[in-house]
Amino acid sequence: MNIRKLIEQALDEDIGPGDITSEATIRPESASIAVIIAKQDLVLAGLDVCCSVFHYLDPGIQISVFAQDGDKIIAGMEIAKLSGSTRSLLAGERVALNLLQHLSGIATLTTKYVDKCRGFKARVLDTRKTIPGMRILEKYAVHVGGGKNHRFGLFDGVLIKDNHIKAAGGIAKAVESARKSAHHLLKIEVETKTLDEVREALAVKADVIMLDNMPIDVTREAVKIIDGCTLVEVSGNVTLDTIRQIAETGVDFISSGSLTHSAPAADISMKIK
């Protein structure tokens, strides 16, 4: 994805033909200093993108940053200071903060999930449940928060889900077809919903077996059946309340769409000094 194009589109959407409020109240020659402040504890992500919004809008804006992506920020901390045209600062404020708040929210939530898995081998993964056009940034924020990225799209990983299985005529047929057509370096992952499907996926030597929406006791049984013969991923109904219990079963991966589609925006503001 072209980040510059995303910024251009976002600014065009917000500003349109002009910021009529600032143009009506602020003199063209007015200059100001502004600070970006965290109003909650958070894990920072997207600061470079935030700064790029202002530089795209007005290359004359000067920016000093006091943190970097991945830093744990305390409420009240100044993240960056900006100086330049008052009109430009106000015109870029909302788009810049929207991106910074959203990405920092994802990184902050991801860190909470990762912390819940401390002491176990399970790695926290994202999914393709992202805002259209924002996937690369959202997956970047997951990485910043300590998570790992699942496949980026349909083109870089074989994941045989329930609809593929039904359309292909079963797990064995779907895996056989995938092995014939997929690149030899690609792993083949199979989604399973029952222990019988787990056994079938194991029999055809799937590289990764996904346990989808299985109760915790069934997950434990599935891990015993697989017995280290292949990698195991859990997906579905993963929350902060359940993820540690899932990790305790000995699975290798825990994926959650909520990292990207349900992360609350971090509380960050910009103030003219």
> Is position 212 annotated as part of the catalytic site?
yes
Distance CA(100)–CA(49), nearest Å, equals 8
Whether the CA torsion 37, 43, 49, 52 is positive or negative: it is: positive
Which contacts of 178-187 are long-range, i.e. CB under 8 A and separated by 24 or more positions? 182/158, 186/156, 186/157, 186/158, 187/157, 187/158
> Is position 224 annotated as part of the catalytic site?
no
Of the candidates 94, 112, 179, 220, the residue annotated as catalytic is 94
- Structure tokens, 157: 């990983």
C-alpha dihedral (228, 256, 131, 18), degrees to nearest 10: -130
Of the candidates 191, 197, 200, 233, the residue annotated as catalytic is 191
> Is position 271 annotated as part of the catalytic site?
no
Of the candidates 5, 121, 161, 271, the residue annotated as catalytic is 161
> Is position 129 annotated as part of the catalytic site?
yes
Of the candidates 129, 151, 179, 199, the residue annotated as catalytic is 129
C-alpha dihedral (67, 71, 74, 80), degrees to nearest 10: 20
Phi, psi (rounded to 5 degrees) for 208? -140, 135
Of the candidates 19, 138, 200, 212, the residue annotated as catalytic is 212
Active site residues per annotation: 94, 129, 161, 191, 212
